[in-house]
Chains A and B, each alone.
Chain A
Amino acid sequence: MSTPNTPLWEVFIRSRNGLAHKHVGSLHASDATMALQAARDIYTRRGEGLSIWVVPSSAITASDPAEKAMMFEPAESKIYRHPTFYEVPEEVGHM
């Protein structure tokens, strides 16, 4: 029997308390426990993190880059969603 390919995991690390977990890369491991240990060894050799998440790459659903124009168009055309769209007289001061 040949050994199956080892599953791929995505690694997210929270660098300091208060900051969100950030994607740092990926690794291969046969289960979640080994993925966490490998993530510790590969991505935090210099104290980069206080918390690690590992997620099976197969569990991620991604948007299609070929459709990004259509996907993000609704936000592109709505400049009134930004504060600079509105005029406030200088005398009013910072708002």
Chain B
Amino acid sequence: MYTQALNTAEADDRGLEDAAKAAQFQARIDAEERIEPNDWMPGAYRKTLTRQISQHAHSEIVGMLPEGNWITRAPTLRRKAALLAKVQDECGHGLYLYAAAETLGSSREELVDAMLAGKAKYSSIFNYPTLTWADIGTIGWLVDGAAIMNQIPLCRCSYGPYARAMIRVCKEESFHQRQGYEIMLTLCRGSDEQKAMAQDALNRWWWPVLMMFGPPDATSQHSDTSTKWKIKRFSNDELRQKFVDATVPQAQYLGLTIPDPGMTQDADGHWRYSEIDWTEFKQVLAGNGPCNRDRMAARRKAHAEGAWVREAAAAYAAKRAQRQTAQAAE
């Protein structure tokens, strides 16, 4: 999902650590106890979570860009206020998540720098462009819908601070999906051109959204330890299937066609989708998606242009602290 690039095997350094402590740790996990920041944890657990949570945070922040693109062009004041609130929420989600990641021992500055340097990833989905207003509806409906599917089980993740951040995020995410679906509904009940715009957006976003859940289980190397540590509670394919099953009836209600002619419903009621083009996914992750360069350039520009604010705030705080010390000495 927001941590797709995690699917590379992590160097296993657990052998160097106290085996008894590791066994005790696993027993706590198995007993559904939450792990808290100052508790002992295996180095690989700390490393995996730092990467996962910070990548999730980066995704929230980069995710503001495709939608921010439409704030000034929203069709009505109501839509504009809602979109503005949604983009603010994404920023808030990024901040909750950075704070959770920092409890594992990295500073905010290190985490942000890793992203700006291109060393840390963010979700592939935000490297696609938002060409029309219907894309904003589709993002809320499908991208946020997929995110909810992924984030609900994370509310029970073994790491306390991550689980608590996810609970807050999930509460707010529901508004995002509903406002997106409402945009789609309005377009689909509008003129032929509006409905065609909605269909076009669905056509472009459907497959990238399915890719959000990450590589198929058969090729994912990372899931085993994440499952054992109860960071991950469902496999990529399980979550993807749940999402497809939930989404097909919603598309039918809108009168839109899922761009997968090979899709069939099996006897159990599950909607079986066609093969996903994983080469496209790999290309986007490798930096060759339609907007990768734009997104990175926008983040670096925003960070550079904010430098004077950080410097001024630090200088002001230092001056005030100095004055207080001087007054106390008088």
A residues at B contact (CB < 8 Å): 3-6, 8, 25-31, 34, 41-42, 45-46, 62, 64-66
Contacts and interface: CB of A to CB of B under 8 A. Distances in A.
10 contacts: A5-B108, A6-B310, A27-B99, A30-B313, A41-B92, A42-B96, A45-B89, A62-B38, A64-B38, A65-B38
B38 A25 contact: no
B96 A25 contact: yes
Interface in B94-141: 95-96, 99, 102, 107-109
Contacts of A45: 85, 88-89, 92, 172
Given A45-B88, A45-B89, A5 B107 contact: yes
A66 B178 CA distance: 45
Contacts of A26: 99, 102
Interface of B: 36, 38-40, 85, 88-89, 92, 95-96, 99, 102, 107-109, 164-165, 168, 172, 307, 310-311, 313-314, 316-317, 320
Contact of B320 (A5, A28, A29, A31): A31
B314 A3 contact: yes
B165 A25 contact: yes
A25 B172 CA distance: 16
Contacts of A65: 36, 38-39
Contacts, number: 52
Contact of B95 (A4, A27, A46, A66): A27
Contact of A66 (B40, B107, B109, B317): B40
A69 B41 CA distance: 18
A5 B102 contact: no
B95 A42 contact: yes
Contacts of A64: 38
Contact of A6 (B39, B88, B307, B314): B314
Nearest to A66: B40
Contacts of A8: 102
Contacts of B96: 25, 42
A95 B109 CA distance: 57
Nearest to B35: A65
Contacts of A3: 307, 310-311, 314
Given A25-B99, A27-B95, A31-B320, A4 B314 contact: yes
Contact of B314 (A30, A42, A46): A30
A30 B316 contact: yes
A5 B107 CA distance: 8
